[in-house]
């Protein structure tokens, strides 16, 4: 979440954003209840209109030695 929303705002979203796709729970509550993190992330993406091309995170190229 930090990559998409920034460190501060991602914490606010996790604690305060109520997600209808997760039975009205916040991301933090859903994760505490054992919900699949991928499902939580996609619920946040849906509500926050994260474009499909950014839902899987940044492509980080492997380091070469």
The predicted-structure confidence for 5-52, as pLDDT tens digits, reads as follows 999 999 999 999 999 999 999 999 999 999 999 999 999 999 999 998
Q: What is the reported pLDDT for 39?
A: 96
Note whether residue 15 is domain-resident: yes
Q: What is the reported pLDDT for 53?
A: 87
**Residues 40 and 30 sit within 8 Å (Cβ to Cβ):** yes
Range of the domain at 36: 2-52
| Domains of the chain: total | 1
Note whether residue 10 is domain-resident: yes
């Amino acid at each position: 979440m930090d990559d998409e929303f920034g460190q501060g705002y991602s914490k606010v979203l996790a604690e305060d954003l109520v997600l209808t796709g997760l039975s009205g729970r916040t991301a933090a509550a859903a994760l505490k209840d054992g919900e699949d993190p991928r499902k939580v992330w996609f619920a946040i993406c849906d509500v926050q209109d994260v474009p499909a091309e950014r839902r899987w995170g940044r492509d980080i190229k492997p380091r070469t030695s």
